[in-house]
Amino acid sequence: MTRVIATIEARMGSSRLPGKVLKEAVGKPMLLLMVERARRARYIDEVVVATTTNEKDEAIASLCSKHNIAYFRGSEENVLERVVETGRHYQAEVSVLLTGDCPLIDPYVIDQHICAFFAAYPHVDYVANCEVRSYPHGLDLMVLSWKTLAQTVDFASTKPFGEHVGWYIRRHPERYRRLDIIAPPGLSNPFFRITLDYQEDYDHIKAIFETLYPQNPQFTTVDILNYAQQQGWIDS
């Protein structure tokens, strides 16, 4: 069987909201809540946190060890190399690329992308929802073969290709064929933010978790959008 590994890029040194991946809601760090959600995707074999060797990221490694979450520590500056080495270490054949600023990632959306990739490969090189924007910001992901991603490491020394995983592939459509995943009508809202970059984002995401999680830890994006409408964050 093809081994599918989801990597979550996570570090403590965010310039806009330092330590954001360990900020809490419902008594749990955002990173732990994100892993919970990603693990519910049916077609992922393992979720792995890709963090750095920087001393300040020992807190992330400790969290992973405490909660039996697979993790790998690599370069802080060369994120592409870190994620590729994470995949190598965990014997990935297909990589699902996630970032720690998406704690509300939807397991159903992950499965949709994985299924689309398997259906289309090798006629396409990757599937993604971040080039043609239809999902809310915060459900971003990309699925591709690990070998395809690994082949771009040679370009990682050139900014921004080493800082943004998959960026080289996304910026070279003449080399890599893309399948865009479009949100169904009930999930389509490309202007709504549920990504964790600023304090206001955290306040909203914390409120979402603390309202919906106690009722149903497996709450969906539809639940989130309904709650956001009730709060007046988006138009009804």
Is residue 51 situated within a structural domain? yes
Is residue 208 situated within a structural domain? yes
Tell me the range of 46-55, 169-178, 182-191 where mean pLDDT is highest.
46-55
| Three-state DSSP state, 122 | coil
**pLDDT above 90 for 4:** yes
Q: Tell me the CA distances in angstroms from 55 to 12, 52, 74, 76, 102, one per residue in order.
A: 10, 8, 12, 11, 23
Mean pLDDT of 143-172: 84
Distance CA(27)–CA(65), nearest Å, equals 18
Mean pLDDT of 195-214: 97
For residue 236, name the pLDDT band (cuts at 50, 70, 90).
Answer: low
Mean pLDDT of 91-100: 98
Record the tokens describing residue 57, joined without a space.
């990221």
Is residue 23 situated within a structural domain? yes
For residue 208, name the pLDDT band (cuts at 50, 70, 90).
Answer: very high
Residue 235 pLDDT: 73
Residues 20-68 pLDDT 10s: 999 999 999 999 999 999 999 999 999 999 999 999 999 999 999 999 9
Q: Show the DSSP H helices in 151-217 as ranges.
A: 167-170, 199-212
Q: Residue 68 burial (CB < 10 Å; 0-12/13-18/19+)?
A: exposed
For residue 82, name the pLDDT band (cuts at 50, 70, 90).
Answer: very high
Q: What is the pTM of this model?
A: 0.94
Angle between helices 199-212 and 221-231 in degrees, nearest 10: 110
Is residue 236 situated within a structural domain? no
Mean pLDDT of 155-170: 76
The domain spanning residue 189 has which CATH number? Answer: 3.90.550.10
For residue 154, name the pLDDT band (cuts at 50, 70, 90).
Answer: confident
**pLDDT above 80 for 157:** no
Total count of domains within the chain: 1
Average pLDDT, the chain: 94
Mean pLDDT of 67-86: 95
Q: Which domain holds residue 17?
A: 4-231
Mean pLDDT of 138-159: 89
Residues 106-118 pLDDT 10s: 999 999 999 999 9
Residue 160 pLDDT: 72
